[in-house]
A and B are shown apart, each in its own frame.
Chain A
């Protein structure tokens, strides 16, 4: 499974290029629409082709990510996948309760984080040392919240609530509590 950093970097590059192009396009349009020149409208065929292009673009993004980002299919099929390890975590009164002081998983094994809330809606996110996010899910009370993940890189990770649960929620950080070993 590819590391989520690679996906984030790819997305950053793609969106940055798009943003620069659309800004330049609008600047060009703003200049040209105020200058003398041919004022023809585009032909209907071209317009309809653009409609089809937008439809293909919208759907193909999801098809492409579905085919290339491995955690998508793993997440949708997680009920049929047997994990190597299940870590049960509960949350109540703005506190994570871990089964051990330190969680240890092996690189490459499939692990499920099964998180239960006893009161409010929280978030459950795993973060790298540099603060970037590996993955996250919502933790909704009264429902099963299970995140299946395969770590591709060893290291020490931090768990943090990724959802607002009132003013007390921003302190829900457990630094360096998850270790992924080779």
Chain B
């Protein structure tokens, strides 16, 4: 095929969007948009990397901090949520061998998350509303720095994402619980109890002979438990958004509300509790579940220590509800017992839960050696390494002694946050995407394995390298969330910038590979209504 033919119709013309089921289209829509939002996040990240080397004259500080505000939210909601929602809305019914409860609701989730992300991003871009994650009261309502109209549109965008998220939660739990027509009736309550872990006693502390079978598979349990945190987080963010919106609406109508009515420390506790449901909750649970699923699919074997793995997922859920104080170790008014118990000791449990997930996955893979180094396997190993590096970095900073000299430095955002997200989470998501690609596309052939290899190496070297150089700058006292004008940390920032550029190149290689695999017509076809009218996940063989 000529270059033009491949560009238009995909590799060997194998991808036929008209042959996709509505369910395949839904999953692919989420994934494609999630990848595009990742690209936006990566470009924004690169702008900030350059700005940290030398402030760019065309971007004033207000715009820079607006980018910094939108960047993580586009990354989390626009990219990660989209990819995860698409993958799990497909995988839960796929693993449970029944249709998704509602494809229509799934499409609404897709529309709301996409439109919501574009809305808050656009608001930050135009109005420069930049309270970061609206974390530090009363900053979100500080209208001497921000426009209340811009802020209100920003909150509206977040609210749309949250509604889409709640729709996703409903769809996942309904899919787990319901019995489709023609299937043997099962108790929805029992299915949910098994999935979320509330029947865990029955499988852990009972004698082996009296243990009941788990009603759902381990990966479905992981998705369900992560979805519990997704639901709680959506509630926290929605409530907080409404609170902020009240102040904004009042300001728009010329009334200034007394912002000391909200206690800044209580607000901070509330918000971090909610934010950790993502950072220390659903991310870790979803990732562990994806590792387990991939390990089983790659090897074709049962998971090593599956019962312990299931328990660890449940423990991680509880840990995610009780861990938030590690963000408040430098808040002197925060009670000491919370800093020690929640901040230090409960946080240390993440070393155990993620450590177990790490080892269980590796042992399962080892049990099937020799394996072929496929794209899913190599990206899975990259994801494991990412968390292998980032979790101990997090444990280090969640220490009363070390937090005093690390808090809000580049150490936090480099070796911990960016290595966890870019290397740990993103490479795990890439592993899932490479695995699902032939299933979701009815056998489309990847355009170039060389590009996939470049994608892997550039991403892992860029991600770890960027985190490492940011961490070194942090050790030398460089703060996050600020601007340096005199090149104080330029050696580290230039090296981090080079690694950031490598990450961006990795993304463009992947994007080009996807375009040439599906073709422009194929990619457009993903977003048109499905020709096949079926609730089945995959086209039925004729």
Interface of A toward B, CB cutoff 8 Å: 4, 7-8, 11-12, 15, 18-19, 22-23, 26, 29-30, 32-37, 39-42, 44, 47, 50-51, 54-55, 57-59, 61-62, 65-66, 68-69, 71-72, 75-76, 119-121, 123, 125, 127-128, 130-138, 140-147, 160, 162-170
Q: How far is the CB of B173 from chain A (nearest CB, A)?
A: 31
Of all chain A residues, which has the CB nearest B130? Answer: A167
The reply to whether B348 and A61 contact each other, CB–CB distance below 8 Å, is: yes
Residues of chain A contacted by B260 (CB below 8 angstroms): 141-142
Give the docked Cα–Cα distance between A93 and B308 (Å): 53
The reply to whether A7 and B142 form a contact with Cβ atoms under 8 Å apart is no
Q: Is the CB of A34 within 8 A of B373?
A: yes
Alpha-carbon separation in the docked complex, A69 to B403 (Å): 11
Q: Are A35 and B370 in contact (CB under 8 A)?
A: yes
CB < 8 Å neighbour of B399 from A15, A65, A142, A146: A65
Interface string of B459-491 (1 = CB under 8 A from A): 000001000100000011111011100001100
A65 with B401: CB separation less than 8 A: yes
Q: Are B401's CB and A140's CB within 8 A?
A: no
- Which chain B positions have C-beta within 8 A of A130? 476-477
1/0 contact trace for B293-321 toward A, CB 8 Å? Answer: 00000000000110010000000000000
Once A39-B367, A59-B345, A131-B478 are accepted as A-B contacts, the answer to whether A138 and B404 lie under 8 Å apart by CB is: no
**Docked pose: A66 CA to B400 CA in angstroms:** 8
- Please indicate the chain A residues that have their CB under 8 angstroms from the CB of B280 in the complex: none
Chain A residues with Cβ below 8 Å from B407 are 136, 138, 162
Chain A residues whose CB sits within 8 angstroms of the CB of B138 once the complex forms: 119-120, 141
Quick one: given A7-B401, A62-B399, A162-B407, are A140 and B331 in contact (CB under 8 Å)?
yes
B399–A61 CB distance below 8 A: yes
Contact present for A167 and B65 (CB under 8 Å): yes
CB within 8 Å for A32 and B405 given contacts A15-B396, A41-B363: no
Task: List, in ascending order, chain B residues with CB within 8 A of A169's CB.
Answer: 482
**B128-150: contact bitstring with A at CB < 8 Å (1 yes, 0 no)?**
10111000111100100110000
Q: Is the CB of A145 within 8 A of B370?
A: no
Q: How far is the CA of A71 from the CA of B402 in the complex (A)?
A: 10
B229 within 8 A of A: no
Extra contacts besides A11-B475, A62-B340, A136-B407 (13): CB < 8 Å: A22-B385, A23-B389, A41-B367, A58-B348, A58-B351, A61-B396, A72-B400, A125-B479, A127-B477, A145-B333, A166-B139, A166-B145, A167-B128
The answer to whether B366 has its CB under 8 Å from any CB of chain A is yes
Give A31 Cβ to nearest chain B Cβ, in Å. 9
Give the CA-CA distance A127 to B476 in the complex, in Å. Answer: 10
Is A57 within 8 A of B351, CB to CB?
Answer: yes
> Does B2 reach chain A (CB closer than 8 Å)?
no
Nearest 5 A/B pairs, CB to CB: A58-B348, A69-B401, A143-B333, A65-B401, A164-B481
Which of B27-35, B243-251, B262-270 forms part of the interface with chain A? B262-270
Q: Are B395 and A50 in contact (CB under 8 A)?
A: no
Shortest C-beta distance, B468 to chain A (Å), equals 8
Q: Is the CB of B401 within 8 A of A143?
A: no
Residues of B within 8 A of A166 (CB): 65, 130-131, 139, 142, 145-146
Q: What is the total number of residues of chain B having a CB less than 8 Å from a CB of chain A?
A: 83
User: Could you name 6 residue pairs across A and B whose Cβ atoms are closer than 8 Å?
Assistant: A26-B385, A54-B352, A65-B402, A133-B477, A137-B330, A166-B131
In the complex, A135 Cα to B329 Cα: how many Å? Answer: 13
Distance in angstroms from B298 CB to nearest chain A CB is 10
CA distance A61 to B400 in the complex (A): 11
Checking A39, A119, A120, A168 against B369 with a beta-carbon cut-off of 8 angstroms, the contacting residue is A39
- In the complex, whether B215 has a CB less than 8 A from a CB of chain A is no
A residues within 8 A CB of B482? 164, 169-170
List chain B residues, Cβ under 8 A from A138: 328, 330-332, 407
CB nearest neighbor in A for B419: A19
Closest Cβ of chain B to A47, distance in Å, is 6
- The answer for the CA separation of A157 and B137 in the assembled complex, in Å, is 29
Asked whether any CB of chain A lies closer than 8 Å to the CB of B439, the reply is no
The answer for the CA separation of A47 and B357 in the assembled complex, in Å, is 12
Given contacts A57-B351, A167-B145, contact A62 B330 (CB under 8 A): no
**A34-B372, A41-B366, A166-B139 are known contacts. Are A26 and B388 too (CB-CB below 8 A)?**
yes
> Which A residues are CB-close (under 8 A) to B305?
44, 47
Give Cα distance in the complex from A143 to B137, angstroms: 13
B384 interface contact, C-beta 8 A: yes
Q: Is the CB of A144 within 8 A of B332?
A: yes
B332:A137 contact, CB within 8 angstroms: yes
Q: Is B362 an interface residue (CB 8 A)?
A: yes
- Asked if A135 and B139 sit within 8 Å, CB to CB, the answer is no
The one of A42, A51, A168 that contacts B356, using a Cβ cutoff of 8 Å:
A51
A134 nearest CB neighbor, chain B only: B405
Contact of B366 (CB < 8 Å), options: A15, A36, A39, A54: A39
B136 lies within 8 A of A163 (CB): yes
With an 8 A cutoff between CB atoms, is B378 at the interface? yes
- For B397, give the chain A residue with the smallest CB separation: A11
Q: Which residues of A contact B489 (CB under 8 A)?
A: 131
A residues near B132, Cβ cutoff 8 Å: 164
B359 interfacial by beta-carbon distance below 8 Å: yes
Chain A residue numbers with a CB within 8 Å of B131 are 166
Check: B529 CB closer than 8 A to any chain A CB.
Answer: no
Q: Please, how many angstroms separate the alpha-carbon atoms of A167 and B132 in the complex?
A: 10
